[in-house]
Homo-oligomer: A and B are copies of this chain.
């Protein structure tokens, strides 16, 4: 057991994280932003939930190195090719049917525990936002902490 502090009060703190993406398949390392958010709360133990309010972006973790920033989009293109004729496209003509499908598969939320003020990430593991839309977007993420 790392921690068992049943006599402390729990707190909920919600912040937002805003940034501009460069376009399709931009993968942003937001780890330092999440660490800073946790640090400023001065809370010790709990979870941080990160959420994308939108249906063409997604959150996950990955080793943030240049090779994988090419490999992951390549596999997403293999899973849901941009060149397919999407029913979404027939109706809305915004060129991002594949973006919606990819985002639904990866998911909009990520929950990371932290202990003694430190995120429990692995050494080669970063929290990333995936811009899956077909263009540059202004993005706002919800970062909510439930902790003691």
The residues of A with any CB-CB pair to B shorter than 8 Å are: 1-6, 9-16, 41, 45-47, 49, 51-55, 60-63, 65-68, 70-72, 75, 78-80, 86-92, 97, 100-101, 103-113, 115, 120-122, 124-125, 128, 142, 144, 146-148
Dominant secondary structure at the A interface:
mixed
B1 touches A6 (CB 8 A): no
Kindly list chain B residues whose C-beta atoms are within 8 Å of the C-beta of A97: 67-68, 71
Kindly list chain B residues whose C-beta atoms are within 8 Å of the C-beta of A2: 14-16
CB closest chain-B residue, reference A45 = B12
Kindly list chain B residues whose C-beta atoms are within 8 Å of the C-beta of A5: 11-12
B109 touches A106 (CB 8 A): no
Kindly list chain B residues whose C-beta atoms are within 8 Å of the C-beta of A12: 3, 5, 10, 45-46, 147-148
Taken together as a complex, chains A and B put the C-alpha atoms of A92 and B10 apart, in Å, by 43
Kindly list chain B residues whose C-beta atoms are within 8 Å of the C-beta of A67: 86-92, 97
B47 touches A144 (CB 8 A): yes
Contact of A51 among B71, B106, B108, B120 (CB under 8 A): B120
Kindly list chain B residues whose C-beta atoms are within 8 Å of the C-beta of A49: 47, 111, 113
Taken together as a complex, chains A and B put the C-alpha atoms of A148 and B146 apart, in Å, by 10
A110 touches B109 (CB 8 A): yes
Contact of A120 among B53, B112, B146 (CB under 8 A): B53
